[in-house]
Structure 1
Amino acid sequence: MAKFLVTTSKGLENLLEQELTSFGISEIKLSVSCVWIEASLEQAYRICYMSRLANRVLLELAVGPCKDKKDLYAITQQVDWPMQFKDSASLSVDFNGVTQTLRNTQFSAQVVKDAIVDQFNDEIGRRPDVSRQNADIKIQGRLIKQQAHIFIDLSGQSLHQRGYRIDAGRAPLKENLAAAVVMRSGWLDDPNVPLVDYFCGSGTLLIEAAQMARKIPAQRERRSWGFDKWLGHNHKQFSAIKDEYDSLIESDKPLKIFGFDNNHHELKTARQNAMDALVDDCIHFETADARYKLLGLKSENGQVISNPPYGERLADQIETANLYLDFAQNIKRQHGGWRLTLITSSVDQLRLLKLQADKKYKVRNATLDCVIANYQIEATDDQKVREGIATEFQNRLKKNFKQVSKLARKADTDCYRVYDADLPNYNVAIDIYQDHLVIQEYAAPKNIALEKTQARLQDVLITAPWVLDMDPNKVSLKVRQRQKGSQQYTKRDERGEFIVVNENKAQFYVNLYDYLDTGLFLDHRDMRALIQKESQDKKVLNLFSYTCSVSVHAVLGGATQVTSVDLSKKYLEWGERNFELNNIKTAWHQFVAMDGIEYLRRNREKFDLIFIDPPSFSNSKKLDHDFDVQRDHLAMLEMAKKQLNPGGTIYFSNNLRSFKLDEAGLAEAGLVAKDLSKQTLPFDFKRRANIRQVFKLSEKTA
């Protein structure tokens, strides 16, 4: 008997223990992602050839207390290496684990390698070649609880690689983890019942299931092993074990296995993989949508097993949430009484199934923490599943939309806010841009659990498009929280999609996906209308102009010339496109890429109307100074006053909630302020009256 370390994926240790017991092994000790066993070489061969859960089978050759390089070298030299393999074989060394003195695994691997090749040089005067790729002999060292263990890897290439999967597809599931999902499902207890995967991808789950049902050895197609050049290898014994298991294969065993996916390329891969795995005759693959596919198979018992999309990207979460909901309804309509087993890393999505899990098992798929969950499918014909989700939110959204949509038509706009954190449990803002939705999640208080806020957001993502009768694929999700400097303008995506929206006889390009802000501040709608009304025959300055929407309204209102100033060339170019969209000749107007404060310092022109909407705070790398609207607004407005024609007007806006206008300082500067915050607050922002402040400033008359 010898000591082996059998490695596996995290979460599969208990299943691996059961599998090893079936090979007659009784001395088993579980650890994280591995199992220690006392076994014969014959039993080790059985693991190598038949295990569907193991990654590697490591034979321990030496072990001992290890504090430093000297100890590691000595422990490695305890092995008679020329008795393990010939010098003509190539060698590689991997190492895991660190101590206070052995902190670098590459260094430790080098120590082990040196100990091996030094022994070869000393004893036979020759040394094996060291190769990192496709080495004949793979040695592994591990530091575990101050002990160094030296192993030879009998498996060679990881055992999770069966050899049938040339293309893993878009969301690869390791074969041994796929086998674990099948085992956890219980289908193998009665493989005569149907097995269905509605998200089959490259077919791994179904292929593993078919091979296990037909007793096909996991490594039947493997042609090279880690023990091929090992001098302890018993060729005759291993060949006998292969013949024994190959004779048990039930290649004609009838199976009812169905795989569906909406990706043609994935299905082509799945069919090829099944053919290479010798199970293509018992798996029916078909292009279909998991939300609507009707199997048409009458069976009281059966198993649905799937690895559905995870929705890792923020933009994918909306689609994934709706997919889970509709998929669950589809299988409930068809497969009442069947069993369902899913593996997913989107644990929060599982609640959308509206099923109570019998068992959940935590596992790891590569770097993703996942859950294998088992359910009993409860039959239902309910077609209105979304009605029962977040009913309080739905009712408020319906009520708001009925009222606000009428006011939007009256205001001649097709972009407006329909919900703004009206209910504390649903802390989001929802804006309509024609047939698109922008959902902004406000940062939740720290005392609310992340899982709860995620669940509530998910409810919003599912129900809002449904309530408003909009396409879920036209929903943009953003996270709105306190921004510093120019963070609010930081690019979020790379879609580059623009749509045209209408407002008070003007048109604007908006980008709903690439930035936190869309290019049009909806809360400035009435302010823009006021600027349009007051711009007739005036020379206008739009400071911190962003995408120049105020400038467009000024021109449409009859301004003789408009100067738009912004530090960002990108947004000024966007502004010029807005001018062209409204048939305004850009050559008649000025677009200045400069900081607003710096422009006021340098400018010598005079204006009849100046609109200033600065950020609350800015520390752009393009500037040698920062800007704080509370600290700097008086100096800024004093400079702006110097550039007013007699009788001119300054409109000053900002969105700092705590802002206090320095009225005394303005009075000394000869300016009179009138608060227009309420007067310019649009109909759809009445619920947040403190969202920004607006002041009309004019020169004090004698």
Structure 2
Amino acid sequence: MSDRYELFLTCPKGLEGLLLDEAKSLGLEDAREHTSAIRGTADMETAYRLCLWSRLANRVLLVLKRFPMKDAEDLYHGVLEVDWQDHMVPDGTLAVEFSGHGSGIDNTHFGALKVKDAIVDKLRTPSGERPSIDKISPDLRIHLRLDRGEAILSLDLSGSSLHQRGYRLQQGAAPLKENLAAAILIRAGWPRMAAEGAALADPMCGVGTFLVEGAMIAADMAPNLNRIHWGFDAWLGHVPAIWKKLHQQATERAEAGMSKPPLWIRGYEADPRLIQPARNNIERAGLSHWIKIYQGEVATFEPRPDQNQKGLVICNPPYGERLGDEASLLYLYQNLGERLRQACLNWEAAVFTGAPDLGKRMGIRSHKQYSFWNGALPCKLLLIKVVPDQFVTGERRTPEQRQAEREQAESDLPSNIEAPGKYEKFNKNGNPIKPVPVVVEQPRLSEGGQMFANRLQKNLKALGKWVKREGIDCYRVYDADMPEYSMAIDLYHDWVHVQEYAAPKSIDPEKASARMFDALAAIPQALNVDKSRVIVKRRERQSGTKQYERQSAQGKFTEVNEGGVKLLVNLTDYLDTGLFLDHRPMRMRIQREAAGKRFLNLYCYTATASVHAAKGGARSTTSVDLSKTYLDWARRNLSLNGFSDKNRLEQGDVMVWLDACREEYDLIFIDPPTFSNSKRMEGIFDVQRDHVQLLDLAMARLAPGGVLYFSNNFRKFILDEHLEARYAVEEITASTIDPDFARNSKIHRAWKITAR
């Protein structure tokens, strides 16, 4: 075999340039870039060195042969001509990987099969010995790449992908591959900083991948030093003496690096479930004395070990995938920006994000941006110098001013309360530093965000006297007052519930997203609430029961008060919260009129009206709904107020239930959905089409002198004119809308219906 070989090094998309520089530094010659790969020539020693030391490559492929191919027969004969007896024994095992298409081969499995057949036929012995397939741990892993009519046949020297260093046996929900983490560290300048003795901190460290890769760079540890199995172990062309020499050199370098005083490397993670897995990974990498992990939120992480230490903050914030993630992610980025400005002055930061627009919300300019791919997701690496000139939000203060503020804040605390802080901090002598309070800067709002905040504050002030006079605990403070900020904002005691209305298709999605982030930044300031108490949901155009479908599964209920009763709301799991705020006046009317009456609540949802009726002294209440989930919720609402007795809950299709019912009721409330096609129903309910039948069935159950209240929120609804010939019908919509919904007079319509 030749003393020089053609090599292909594969890598994640976007890392080609970095890998090219790394491979050249390790001895690859005539190197040039390809898509997700680089190509060059090297001797065997360099090939081994690339396997051992490349932090960025996925695989090191040694090219055995190139040949043109027009069809499957060309493929078979081209592979057959290789002297396979020089590469493996006849009874060895192999795995074949095939990539590319064309030349009559559009199925990679078929292409791999033809390659396998050629190798097996070449090595088959007269006695019948032949190689067998082992996809898990083969002696040789063969790769054939088809590129524009040329077949490139290679031996995979790496075996399993080189990004699998062996230390990360436990990982989080969205792990970052080790070689991508290393590439981000290299782009951020960590090798230079580590050589200068800098610190490294990750405030969202997950299972510690950035920290381990950073420590290995700082300690001059070859990333694959501890790998047990290689693709060349059973290769007949393997030269053990060269490999042993290189591995010994790498071992000595690692020992020398690890004998140095360790750098200050710290990780912080909010999720307590990830702390032990992270520590286990760090221990497997042999870096426990270099890296420490603590639990805590981003808003309070304190990476600086002392005033003079400089370093790099690096992180990969989570990507938003669930309903309402916009708010949590925005505030996460804002908190990160605040902590960088407060605790990391003159440090550098590297934020790897799948949402670059959120990066702008940190309040610090990035001086460089690099494009990467995390799998199929396009991402940006934002490089930041944490210096006042780069701040674009908040008040700029000198370190002396910040320290004075901290000391003042600490002195203002009662003597029996320690200043908040979760993390161990040490001075240069190794002694713990007492935690100090966090002085939080309010982000400076954009022009649009400030306009939005002004409107919120105006609405809050306008409703203030009414809210205080009536003892209102939950109310709407904003409902698309400004067309460009299309959302509804409700206050539930000390929580803020935001429903973003889907933007019309004519609106640029980027502009809509930017306005949403402006609004989310303004809400905590304008309403004087903590960011963690803002819940965001997106409301699409819907029909039927979709608004009732489960969106999350947190199962967290919050107790609120209304008219002397306690009610449970769930702000996270469904688009609606369990309490329709616009029906507050109707519920209060029912409470006032319910004394001594038999009350029937149809389409009861969480039976809040039934709770009010019971509070008003109803003789009994009956609540009917098709959903077991909401009836369970209704049961909890009644029980919370001590109304479990004489208050019946019935599960069923309302129309069917009414048709079968023979009881009479003195007070009936009906608030049906616009449309429903539940599988448990016998048919499809349409409020416009079916309301006459519904009302006729309900009026048949109304006792003499009784009252029926009918309401719905279908904006195009028209009450059938023939009903007035049979019943006394009075529209009472205006009297059922409180000041917080006066801006939206079409929120619902309501009627009072009695017998003639």
Q: Does 1:8 align with 2:11?
A: yes
1:16: Cα distance to partner?
Answer: 0.7
CA separation of 1:86 and 1:336: change in aligned 2, threshold 3 A: same
- Match of residue 655 from structure 2: 597
Q: 1:625 aligns with which of 683, 687, 691?
A: 683
**Cα distance between partner residues in 1 of 2:700 and 2:276:** 72
- Match of residue 299 from structure 2: 291
**Cα distance between partner residues in 2 of 1:100 and 1:442:** 52
Q: State the secondary structure of the residue aligned to 1:304.
A: strand
Q: 2:466 aligns with which of 392, 407, 411?
A: 407
Q: Which has the larger displacement, 386-395 or 257-266?
A: 257-266
- Match of residue 667 from structure 1: 724
CA separation of 1:217 and 1:294: change in aligned 2, threshold 3 A: closer
1:336: Cα distance to partner?
Answer: 3.4
Aligned residue runs from structure 1 range 455-470, under 5 A = 455-470=514-529
In the TM superposition, what whole-angstrom CA distance separates every residue of 1:595-630 from its partner, at most 9, and x where no partner exists?
222233333333333322111111111224212212
Q: 2:186 aligns with which of 183, 186, 190?
A: 183
Contact 1:419 1:431 in 2 (8 A): yes
Q: State the secondary structure of the residue aligned to 2:718.
A: coil
1:446: Cα distance to partner?
Answer: 1.7
Which letter does structure 2 place at the counterpart of 1:639? L
Structure 2 alignment gaps of length 5 or more: 389-395, 403-439
**Cα distance between partner residues in 2 of 1:470 and 1:561:** 40
- Match of residue 340 from structure 2: 331
Q: Does 1:27 align with 2:30?
A: yes
Q: Does 1:226 align with 2:231?
A: yes
**Cα distance between partner residues in 1 of 2:65 and 2:263:** 49
Contact 1:260 1:289 in 2 (8 A): no
CA separation of 1:552 and 1:336: change in aligned 2, threshold 3 A: closer
CA separation of 1:647 and 1:299: change in aligned 2, threshold 3 A: same
Contact 2:450 2:522 in 1 (8 A): no
Q: 1:429 aligns with which of 466, 481, 488?
A: 488
**Cα distance between partner residues in 2 of 1:624 and 1:288:** 52
- Match of residue 353 from structure 1: 362
**Cα distance between partner residues in 2 of 1:287 and 1:522:** 39
Which letter does structure 1 place at the counterpart of 2:563? N
CA separation of 1:61 and 1:694: change in aligned 2, threshold 3 A: same
- Match of residue 110 from structure 1: 113
Q: 1:511 aligns with which of 553, 561, 570?
A: 570
1:216: Cα distance to partner?
Answer: 2.9
Q: Name the count of aligned residue pairs.
A: 697
Q: State the secondary structure of the residue aligned to 1:578.
A: helix
CA separation of 1:106 and 1:410: change in aligned 2, threshold 3 A: farther
**Cα distance between partner residues in 2 of 1:601 and 1:281:** 75
Q: Which has the larger displacement, 486-495 or 191-200?
A: 191-200
1:158: Cα distance to partner?
Answer: 1.4
Aligned residue runs from structure 1 range 121-200, under 5 A = 121=124, 125-168=128-171, 172-190=175-193, 191-199=195-203, 200=205
Aligned residue runs from structure 1 range 96-107, under 5 A = 96-99=99-102, 102-107=105-110
**Cα distance between partner residues in 1 of 2:33 and 2:246:** 26
Q: Does 1:388 align with 2:445?
A: yes
**Cα distance between partner residues in 2 of 1:537 and 1:307:** 62
Contact 1:511 1:519 in 2 (8 A): yes
CA separation of 1:296 and 1:120: change in aligned 2, threshold 3 A: closer
Contact 1:203 1:259 in 2 (8 A): no
Which letter does structure 2 place at the counterpart of 1:230? W
Q: Which has the larger displacement, 49-58 or 576-585?
A: 576-585
Aligned residue runs from structure 1 range 57-68, under 5 A = 57-64=60-67
CA separation of 1:274 and 1:616: change in aligned 2, threshold 3 A: closer
Aligned residue runs from structure 1 range 464-613, under 5 A = 464-586=523-645, 588-613=646-671
Q: State the secondary structure of the residue aligned to 1:357.
A: coil
1:683: Cα distance to partner?
Answer: 2.0
In the TM superposition, what whole-angstrom CA distance separates every residue of 1:644-702 from its partner, at most 9, and x where no partner exists?
33443332111111212222x2234x2343221111012211111111111222344xx
Contact 2:63 2:152 in 1 (8 A): yes
- Match of residue 687 from structure 1: 743
Q: Does 1:93 align with 2:96?
A: yes
CA separation of 1:93 and 1:590: change in aligned 2, threshold 3 A: same
In the TM superposition, what whole-angstrom CA distance separates every residue of 1:390-443 from its partner, at most 9, and x where no partner exists?
222222222322333432333333121122222223222122222222211111
- Match of residue 364 from structure 1: 373
Structure 1 alignment gaps of length 5 or more: none
Contact 1:614 1:653 in 2 (8 A): yes
Q: State the secondary structure of the residue aligned to 2:367.
A: strand
- Match of residue 242 from structure 2: 237
CA separation of 1:171 and 1:48: change in aligned 2, threshold 3 A: same
CA separation of 1:79 and 1:355: change in aligned 2, threshold 3 A: same
CA separation of 1:676 and 1:78: change in aligned 2, threshold 3 A: farther
Q: Which has the larger displacement, 110-119 or 8-17?
A: 110-119
Q: State the secondary structure of the residue aligned to 1:386.
A: coil
Q: Does 1:307 align with 2:310?
A: no
Q: Which has the larger displacement, 672-681 or 269-278?
A: 269-278
Contact 1:260 1:290 in 2 (8 A): no
Contact 2:215 2:265 in 1 (8 A): no
**Cα distance between partner residues in 2 of 1:537 and 1:300:** 75
- Match of residue 652 from structure 1: 710
Contact 1:412 1:505 in 2 (8 A): no
**Cα distance between partner residues in 1 of 2:7 and 2:497:** 57
Q: Does 1:211 align with 2:216?
A: yes
1:11: Cα distance to partner?
Answer: 1.2
1:634: Cα distance to partner?
Answer: 2.5
In the TM superposition, what whole-angstrom CA distance separates every residue of 1:151-176 from its partner, at most 9, and x where no partner exists?
22111121122334444456533221
Contact 2:28 2:40 in 1 (8 A): yes
CA separation of 1:633 and 1:272: change in aligned 2, threshold 3 A: closer
CA separation of 1:247 and 1:346: change in aligned 2, threshold 3 A: same
**Cα distance between partner residues in 1 of 2:126 and 2:453:** 81
Which letter does structure 2 place at the counterpart of 1:260? G
CA separation of 1:683 and 1:20: change in aligned 2, threshold 3 A: same
**Cα distance between partner residues in 2 of 1:496 and 1:165:** 33
Q: State the secondary structure of the residue aligned to 2:706.
A: strand
Identity over aligned pairs, percent: 40
- Match of residue 266 from structure 2: 259
**Cα distance between partner residues in 1 of 2:608 and 2:269:** 43
In the TM superposition, what whole-angstrom CA distance separates every residue of 1:452-502 from its partner, at most 9, and x where no partner exists?
333333344444234434343333322112222211111112222222222
Q: Does 1:448 align with 2:507?
A: yes
Q: State the secondary structure of the residue aligned to 1:133.
A: coil
CA separation of 1:169 and 1:646: change in aligned 2, threshold 3 A: closer
**Cα distance between partner residues in 2 of 1:283 and 1:509:** 45
**Cα distance between partner residues in 2 of 1:281 and 1:431:** 50
**Cα distance between partner residues in 2 of 1:146 and 1:405:** 75
CA separation of 1:287 and 1:699: change in aligned 2, threshold 3 A: closer
Which letter does structure 2 place at the counterpart of 1:2? Y
Contact 2:598 2:621 in 1 (8 A): yes
Q: Does 1:676 align with 2:683?
A: no
Contact 2:710 2:753 in 1 (8 A): yes
**Cα distance between partner residues in 2 of 1:559 and 1:183:** 72
**Cα distance between partner residues in 2 of 1:454 and 1:177:** 28
Q: State the secondary structure of the residue aligned to 1:679.
A: helix
